[in-house]
Structure 1
Amino acid sequence: MTLRIGVVGLGGIAQKAWLPVLSQATDWTLVGAFSPNQAKAKPICESFRMACFSSLNDLAAACDAVFVHSSTATHFDVVKALLLAGKDVCVDKPLAENLNQAEALVALAEKQKRKLMVGFNRRFAPRYQQLKAEMPNAASLRMEKHRSDSVGPHDLRFTLLDDYLHVVDTALWLSGKAATSLHGHIETNDLGEMLYAEHHFAAGRLRLTTSMHRRAGSQRERVSAVCEGKCIDVLDMRDWQEESASGLLITPPPAWQSHLTQRGFSGAAHHFIHCVQNQTMPETSGEQALLAQRVVEKMWRDSVRE
């Protein structure tokens, strides 16, 4: 039977990143979507040629698996309802807005014997997967993801979970082994909004650094690895720069590779669907999904105590 896919939440990330992939159905069917804002949802559903459901229950009844792109504050209630309805779920990061809720959802998925995946798209970016293969020979790794001008309006905890979580998860995943937090620094303004964060970890002999500035004048994302015999930089998940004794080699992405493939959204969506179809465990399920959130929650608690 062809897998029936549904979507909850039709905001910017769903429209720009996930629906363009899901609507190109090959061995699945995009049944439809639900959003509380029906007036907004109907034209979006029409543009992607899918049904617009009037309730979460109606959507769940028509689907086998659901992608959840609603606000973080709704994740717990939405994902819980879907799991209890017997549906497999892929949800945007973070899994829930606090650790207790996230752990409860992981436990519920195990109890219900359903797949629960957190959509950390960078784990599926081809350049980052290429870099991960180099990590056994790496001495250090630094990941930077900066914002041009994005201080506020949310508080520190929201920004850490909403954005810095990507940086931490990607760095820890690239390391390929358990990492220990060494030290870090978070700078906020008088309103408690994040200005800058930098943290350091050890994963065996590998040293990791994560960094984010919220008013850097640039949207740059860069991962740098110092390896045996070469230094590697990956710029904005696209360009591969490798410097060694023989010179500097710059490799752009293949011309045929789409933007959503480069950024890992295509890979993440196909991975989840494949896992549901073949009853295998998604890469970012269970403890894997919680790892970075636990680290980021500790960063926030430590900054509050300072």
Structure 2
Amino acid sequence: MSAPAAAVVARQRLRVGMVGLGGIARRVYLPVLGTRPDLDLRVCTRNQAVLDDVCAAYRIAHGYTELSAMLAEGLDAVFVHAATGAHVDVVRAVLEAGIPVYVDKPLAADVDDARDLVELARRQRTSLFVGFNRRFAPAYRALADEEFSCAVMQKHRVGFPDDARRVIFDDFIHVIDTLRFLIDEARLVDVHSVRIAGDLALVSVVLAGPGRVAVGVMNRDGGATEEVLEIHGPGVKTSVRDLTEVIEDREGRREIRRLDEWTPVEERRGFVAMCDFFVDAVRAGYRLDAGDALRTHELCDEVLRAVSARTP
């Protein structure tokens, strides 16, 4: 490559920050973003030992233990993978610096905080994007254009009842958002829940939209950790199991398709396409608005209030 060409490539590299280097960052986002030659990745965590390990593993030259120091260097975008409780302060700081933000779901565990951040992004005229990866998962995206009248999504865990707000905003939010992705103008129709020793063990909802109905169920005290999404249309039922297996029953005939076992999990679960979408928007100067993600948070708040109103 000639010197002028190399200079062009260097100018095109985006300076991207990553805040929070916990499990999701190390399992998914560092493998996806840390190997991209078009990104100049900088990372931030308060844990010096973790920072040193990550910088060495991915040959990252810029590591920080303070967010303010990283923002002062000048960035084109920031990915936020900190704990949910830190989202509000971190996202606000990045938005106030005028830098596009990608943040893991939930944007915040309180709908008023989420609404404030969306409004701040709009005032700043800066992108705010919430990472709902299932919208980008190949097996789920393929269902979006299918003709159907009913969708059923189950997402279960083994022995993990927990505080109702954490269950709904940190986990069940995936069910709500995926069903919203499939059903236009979804509204909440019904909520049922079961508690064990005060913790939320099971929650189910019914959503409805024009010509369609959806049921979402999560059992946190079940016998298996699994995720199943079904759509029912005229003469056809399509099921997706754990984002890897598609079972289509059409007028009594069954076809089973599985994703290539060599397909990386971050691609199978939509993270690669989702990161590409955000990075491409930043590069093109296209501003992303989190208003649709906010609607998911508002529905979660409706579910939480309904669950909280029930006698434990």
Same-fold call, TM > 0.5? yes
1:198 matched to 2:209: no
Indicate whether 1:83 and 2:91 are aligned.
no
Q: 1:162-219 deviations in whole A, cap 9, x for unaligned?
A: 10001110111111x10121111011122x2110011001111111000000021211
Letter of the structure 1 residue corresponding to residue 216 of structure 2: T
- Secondary structure (helix, strand or coil) at the match of 2:224 reads coil
Deviation at 1:44, TM superposition (A): 2.2
1:246-265 correspondence runs (5 A): 247-255=253-261, 257-265=263-271
Cα distance between partner residues in 2 of 1:258 and 1:3 = 24
Instruction: State the partner residue of 1:149.
Output: 159
AA at the equivalent of 1:14: A
- Once residues 144 and 110 of structure 2 are traced to their aligned partners in structure 1, the CA distance between those partners, rounded to angstroms, is 29
Q: Which residue of 2 aligns with 1:43?
A: 53
TM-score, normalised to structure 1, is 0.93
Say yes or no: does 1:53 pair with 2:51.
no
Partner of 1:162: 170
CA deviation after TM superposition for structure 1 residue 256, in Å? 5.0
- Partner deviation per Cα, 1:203-240 (whole Å, 9 max, x = no partner): 11111000000021211100011112211000101111
Identity of matched residues, %: 33
Cα offset for 1:29? Answer: 2.1
Following the alignment from structure 1 to structure 2, what is the Cα–Cα distance between the partners of residues 143 and 43?
39
Q: How does 1:171-186 map to 2 (within 5 A)?
A: 171-175=179-183, 177-186=184-193
**Which SS does the other structure have where 1:169 is aligned?**
helix
1:222 alignment partner AA: V
d(CA) in 2 for partners of 1:199, 1:107: 28
Instruction: Tell me how far apart the structure 1 counterparts of residues 212 and 172 of structure 2 sit (CA, whole Å).
Output: 21
The CA deviation at 1:257 is 2.6
CA–CA distance in structure 2, aligned partners of residues 195 and 304 of structure 1: 13
Match of 1:100 in 2: 112
Tell me the SS of whatever aligns to 1:237.
coil
Report the secondary structure of 2:149's partner residue: strand
Q: What code does the residue aligned with 1:147 have?
A: R
What do you get for the CA RMSD once the two structures are aligned? 1.4
* 1:138 aligned counterpart, secondary structure: coil
Whole-angstrom CA distance in 2 between matches of 1:78 and 1:61: 14
- How many residues in Structure 1 have an aligned counterpart in Structure 2? 297
- Equivalences for 1:182-261 in 2 at 5 Å? 182-190=189-197, 192-245=198-251, 247-255=253-261, 257-261=263-267
Is the contact between residue 132 and residue 174 of structure 2 (CA under 8 Å) also seen in structure 1? yes
Letter in 2 for 1:286: A
Specify the alignment match of 1:291 in structure 2.
Answer: 295
Instruction: Give me the whole-angstrom Cα distance separating, in 1, the residues matched to 2:49 and 2:252.
Output: 59
Q: Unaligned stretches of 5+ in structure 2? A: 1-10
- Which ranges in structure 1 are unaligned for 5 or more consecutive residues? none
Deviations 1:250-298 (A, max 9, x none): 111135532111101111111110111112244xx32111111111111
* Alignment-derived partner of residue 7 in structure 2: none
Q: Distance in 1 between matches of 2:229 and 2:153?
A: 4
SS for the counterpart of 1:224 is strand
Q: Given residue 139 of structure 1, which amino acid in structure 2 is its aligned partner?
A: S
| Residue 304 of structure 2: aligned partner | 300
The AA in structure 1 aligned to 2:123 is K
Offset at 1:27? 2.6
- Report 1:126-137 matches (<5 A): 126-134=138-146, 137=147
| 8 A Cα contact 2:161 2:220, kept in partner | yes
Aligned to 1:278: 284
Paired amino acid for 1:275: A
> 1:26 Cα shift?
3.8
- How far apart are 1:246 and its partner, in Å? 5.9
